[in-house]
């Protein structure tokens, strides 16, 4: 039971710096998306 609970959390642990990097990329992506939509309209 305990082993299964572990497997349900995530296939592998994500390092904190990696999560921050993804968050930054996502933020830049959405910012560019908003700027792009303002340009085209």
Q: What is the end-to-end Cα distance of the chain in Å, rounded? A: 54
Percent of the chain clearing pLDDT 90 (strictly above): 27
pLDDT at 7: 52
Phi-psi label, residue 9: left if phi above 0, alpha if psi -120 to 50, beta otherwise: alpha
Max Cα–Cα distance, the chain, nearest Å: 54
pLDDT at 37: 77
pLDDT at 11: 64
pLDDT tens sequence across 13-25: 667 778 889 999 9
pLDDT at 12: 65
Kindly list the distances between the CA atom of residue 22 and the CA atoms of 1, 4, 12, 26, 28, in Å, as whole numbers in the listed order.
Answer: 32, 27, 16, 6, 10
pLDDT at 16: 77
pLDDT at 26: 94
């Amino acid at each position: 039971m305990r082993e299964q609970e572990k497997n349900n959390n995530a296939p592998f642990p994500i390092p904190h710096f990696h999560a921050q990097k993804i968050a930054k990329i996502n933020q830049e992506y959405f910012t560019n998306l908003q700027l792009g939509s303002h340009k085209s309209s």
